[in-house]
Structure 1
């Protein structure tokens, strides 16, 4: 098995949806990231072993999204590419999949990534209208065509907006997380404190220049626009509940991710090939794991990473405390806190296959350069953003391990271990 080297990542600034990137497509967002990677690693005219991108909010015309992105750059057009999608875990999943192909010796280089935009939202036709239009196209007589046209009513013309809810429950991710925080006894204060720390860590990282080589300039922007260096716990405490209006809700716009537009990409290679090209290695992808929970029958929607991490630790003969950095995706502050509390619970960890609690982590090692609450969360782009961020942290430290954990819609989770 070959060692899988993480060489670096590029992303555009993450922004609040319906603002700076309004009407830009996923392809328009991710292609500049890919071009920046090509320039950094001198890939012009080079054939990459494989490219894998994804987006949660896809248009039907994006069926060949990744390949079209490749063809829109100076990469050798013989570079293959494919789409994949696992909601918020998409680009971490693409990183793991491509890493396995590199480890197996099938390819020497790969580019993983993802993009998402709510500002170019793919509206759909009502199914009844789609059927009528299809029938109209194949109608043979004028009378048949006239009958079909006259059957189209106002309801048929109402567009269908994508709804980010769970089809099995009809509840949004935030509503499911409200259930989770109640189950685990997570307070509003704890959630606001984690959100505050996320903003402070991200603002500090920008001030120190940490993101200078990770975030490229795009549309006149040089940094993420969601980070609030001036927020306070008092400001966060003043916000109203966003998902539960009964007076018992604790999730707000301040301790949850907001709709975000953005894209990110990541360069991978075998260790041997990286050495041949004199490409410095930031970190290595050691292993990855996925999991799912039965949220329809009562398990917490966003708790699947607890299972995935437990299995990954057992396979690697590691303890939860054997890490220098923890990058836990902040879909909601409450979801992160539920995960941490579950790992400390003996009875819960028995479900995970452990005869003792996984235990607690050092919170000073958690999302130290900021998390998704502050930086933003363009669904499919978050994984590559986190991997590039964690790899650079390991490079700066000189050695160590990072644990990456991402929850996803559908009650799934994607996790990975990086090492240097």
Structure 2
């Protein structure tokens, strides 16, 4: 098996939805990321082994999404591409899948990534209207067409807006997380504190120039717009609960991710090929794992990464403490804290196949350059953003190991290990 080298990543600034990137499509968001990556590695006219891109909020016309993105670049048109979707873990899953192909020697190079926008949302017709319009197209006589047209009712004309709720429960991710934090006894104060450090760490990273070679300006935006360098625990504490208004809610707009528009891509190659091209290696993708929970039966919707990490650590003969950095996606501050607390619980870890707790982590190593609460969370772009950020951390340190963990809708989790 060949070593899988992470060579670099590019993304546009992440922005709050319905603002700077309003009415811009997923393909348009990905274009500057891909173009910047192509320029950095002199890939113009070159054929890449495989490209895998994804998005959650795609239009039906984007059925060949990844391939169309490639054809919109200066890459050799012979570059193959496929689309995939695993909710918030989409681009991390793409990275793992392509890493396996590189490791097996099937391809030498690959690009993974993702894009999402709530500001170019694909509205749908009511099913009854869609059926009637389809029948109208195939009607052969004026009488048939007239009959169909007169059957259309006003209620048929109301659009169907995509809703980020679990179809099996009808509950939003935030409502599910409210259940989780109550089950695990996570306080509002602890959630606000984690959110506070997410913003402070991200703001400091910008001040230090950490994101200079990772973030590509787009539409006049040069940096993530959700980060609040001036936030404080007092300001966070003043916000009202966003999902549970019963008086016991603890999730707010301050300790949860906001609807975000953005895109990110990642470039990988076999170590051997990277050396031939004199491309510096930032880090190596060592392993990846996915898992799912039965949230309909009562398991926490966003707890699947606890299973995935447990399996991955056992396979790699590692302990939870054996990492220099922890990049845990902050869908909600409460979700991160539930995960950390579960790994400290002996009874819970027995369900994960361990005879003892996985243990605690050094919190000073958690999301040290900011997490999703501060940076933002364009669903399918987050994985590529995190991997590129983690790889740069290892490049700067010169050695070490990063644990990456992403929870997803549908009760799934995607995790990975990077090393240098």
Q: Is TM (by shorter chain) over 0.5?
A: yes
How far the C-alpha of 1:221 sits from its partner, in A, is 1.2
Aligned residue in 1 for 2:365: 365
Unpaired runs of 5+ residues, structure 1, are: none
How far the C-alpha of 1:141 sits from its partner, in A, is 2.2
Q: Deviations over 1:189-219 (max 9, x none)?
A: 0000000000000000000000000001111
Q: Deviations over 1:253-276 (max 9, x none)?
A: 000000000000000000000000
CA RMSD across the alignment: 0.4
Aligned residue in 2 for 1:126: 126
Aligned residue in 1 for 2:265: 265
Aligned residue in 2 for 1:400: 400
Q: Does 1:290 align with 2:290?
A: yes
Q: Does 1:156 align with 2:175?
A: no
Aligned residue in 2 for 1:246: 246
TM-score, normalization by structure 2: 1.00
Separation in 2, partners of 1:56, 1:145: 36
Per the alignment, in what secondary structure is the counterpart of residue 163 of structure 1?
coil
Aligned residue in 2 for 1:383: 383
Aligned residue in 2 for 1:67: 67
Q: Does 1:113 align with 2:113?
A: yes
Separation in 2, partners of 1:393, 1:15: 23
Separation in 1, partners of 2:71, 2:361: 44
Per the alignment, in what secondary structure is the counterpart of residue 46 of structure 1?
coil
Q: Deviations over 1:139-176 (max 9, x none)?
A: 22222211110000011100000000000000000000
Give the 5 Å matches for 1:67-86. Answer: 67-86=67-86
Give the 5 Å matches for 1:193-212. Answer: 193-212=193-212
Separation in 1, partners of 2:344, 2:237: 27
Per the alignment, in what secondary structure is the counterpart of residue 79 of structure 2?
coil
How many residues are paired up? Answer: 420
Per the alignment, in what secondary structure is the counterpart of residue 10 of structure 1?
strand
Moved over 4 A (4+): none
Q: Deviations over 1:272-303 (max 9, x none)?
A: 00000000000000000000000000000000
Q: Deviations over 1:294-349 (max 9, x none)?
A: 00000000000000000000000000000000000000000000000000000000
Per the alignment, in what secondary structure is the counterpart of residue 302 of structure 1?
coil
Q: Does 1:217 align with 2:217?
A: yes
Separation in 2, partners of 1:278, 1:143: 70
Q: Deviations over 1:210-261 (max 9, x none)?
A: 0000001111111100000000000000000000000110000000000000
Separation in 1, partners of 2:269, 2:155: 52
Unpaired runs of 5+ residues, structure 2, are: none
Aligned residue in 1 for 2:33: 33
Per the alignment, in what secondary structure is the counterpart of residue 110 of structure 1?
strand
Separation in 1, partners of 2:139, 2:66: 36
Separation in 1, partners of 2:154, 2:334: 42
